[in-house]
Amino acid sequence: MVEFRMRVLFFASFFKYKESETYYTEEIKSIIKNFPSVEFLVYNFACKHNRITRYDKNVIWVEKKSRILSFAFFKNMIKIFTKFKPTILHSVYVFPSIFMGLFGKIFRIPSILHGRGTDINFLPYNNLKSKIYLIIASKLNNLILTVSKAMRDDCLRFRFPKDKVVTLYDGVDFEKFNPKGKNFFSKDNKLYILNIGRFSYEKCHKLIVETCKELKDNNINFHLTLIGIGPLKNQIIKLIKKLELMDFISLKGWVNHEMLFDYLLKADLFILPSLTEGLPISVLEAMSMELPVILTKVGGMPELALDIGSILIEKNNKSQLHNAIIYYLNNPEEIKIGGKINRKFILNNFNWDSHAKKLYSIYKKLKGLY
């Protein structure tokens, strides 16, 4: 019987351990693979069901209908802290981390805020309430993890102590996202473009579709595939029909993570012209599949851009997006060479095993605080 030397309460808004991969899943799996004496209790709030699932000896998944601040929530937390007895608290996103930080102070358990996106690098600059939440979270949690150096800089602009903010890059499953057998683009073929992202304002799907209209008007032989769901999807569908792009753009909706490989293998080019980003897993996976990428100069995306295989453009710049696509269309050899350079870069810098070892080291160091 395994004696767990470390128990982590992983507090997140969503989680799927078996059916659908997420970065939470990969992070937890990589820790368990390298350090089997770590046990995780993953707590999700505001769920459809009250359910507890024991996936294996290392992972308990707790789903609760209760929302944060409800009586049931605090009752559940007290039960977890007294029976599971976590040694580390690991929260994803700012608002939930405030409550984990409070519980950490009460029960003398170190807590981590793991920043991944807009609640650190966008909302606090545009919303006073979000700014206050982030400042409170920074005081209650012992450490802030960021997915990019740019996000760490965002934290330091609020004058958080430098030693309290640490960048930890995510990883990629290199075996799953392996481009073996990939056919590279040539000028005689159609250019297949791929975008993966939630249909929301900051992902700039309108800009993408309008750029496709210019490509069509210039008789470019291309096809765009959009993968994702979100509140603006119907609006984008109407725009596609209005611009008569139904034969040029496919919408695939939500796609299981296991199936993304097929779309990435077929694609020649990956684009993500967002207004704000942390460090998108979708880009890491695309680069691992030897795709060149077109990205905006936001968040951590410039940290992924290489001289060959990547083009950075300004936000909301349709002309630059169009020209970048045309550049790759006219330079098919750079699609192949740049794609291979991209995969090598990802292999060397975004490894889940390396991530796990660094995170475990952080857990151990924090564990010694109390």
Do the bridges between strand 6-12 and strand 88-92 make them parallel or antiparallel, or are there none, so unpaired? parallel
pLDDT at 43: 95
For the segment 32-90, what is each residue's pLDDT rounded down to a tens digit?
999 999 999 999 988 888 999 998 899 999 999 988 889 999 999 999 999 999 999 99
Residue 19 has pLDDT above 80, yes or no: no
pLDDT at 46: 85
Short-list 114, 103, 112, CA closest to 22: 114
What average pLDDT does the chain have?
A: 94
Angle at which helix 205-217 crosses helix 233-242, to 10 degrees, equals 20
How far, in Å, are 93, 123, 138, 154, 225 from residue 130 at the CA level?
11, 6, 12, 14, 34
Q: Which domains does the chain have, with CATH numbers?
A: 6-171+351-367 (3.40.50.2000), 191-349 (3.40.50.2000)
Q: Is the pTM of this model over 0.75?
A: yes
